[in-house]
Amino acid sequence: MTKEIPTLILGIGNILWADEGFGVRAVEEFHKSYAVLDPADKVIDGGTLGMYLFDDICRCDKLLVFDCCDFHGKPGELRVLHDKEISIWTSTKLSPHQDGMNDLLAAAHLRLSAPNQIIVVGFQPVLLDDYGGSLSNEAKKQLGPAVEAAFKELKNWGVPLRERTLNESYEPLNENSALNMERYEAERPSQEEADRTGDRRYAFIRTNEA
């Protein structure tokens, strides 16, 4: 059966927790670097939408995902996961958004609408417990290689792409300019103004329950 979305290029993650936002920043960088030529293909900043992505997942034939995931590699490592290796990604529990992705893919299988092919461009996190923080330097260095790895995989799939020209204008994936990485970093509150480890009351409870 032909699906409505031949290829879905998706970035997921939570930009509020440092390297947890790698997938979002990677898909932004991909969108900045390449344009998809088939109007039926989609490039999406999935953030932490979880099950809200269900319809798009069920409607796509091929799915390429940028994500921060624990594949038991060296911190800062980039890895492309295929086929059976995808189970490493779906078993990861770094954050609530990945529980949502696990549920989403399982539901798509039950509906007999799961993507026929999935590739994950994954980053082994270096830093997670920095609330409101941006990517670690190691993660930033892997954005370019992640984009090029995705480009190679998509070309192997036969997905028509075009490299954007210098200063080319394009519609951003997220219209909220406050989420732009440069602005996000520049406007981050100081440690004194905002706790970097989340809600200290929650940390206190966890410590005393241990």
User: Binding site residues, as ranges?
Assistant: 20, 67, 97
| Residues in the annotated binding site for Ni(2+) | 20, 67, 97
Q: Round to whole Å and give the CA distance between 85 and 83.
A: 5
Q: Round to whole Å and give the CA distance between 159 and 136.
A: 31
Phi and psi based region of residue 112 (left: phi greater than 0; alpha: psi -120 to 50; beta: remaining):
left
Q: Which of 22, 14, 19, 21 is nearest to 121 (CA)?
A: 22
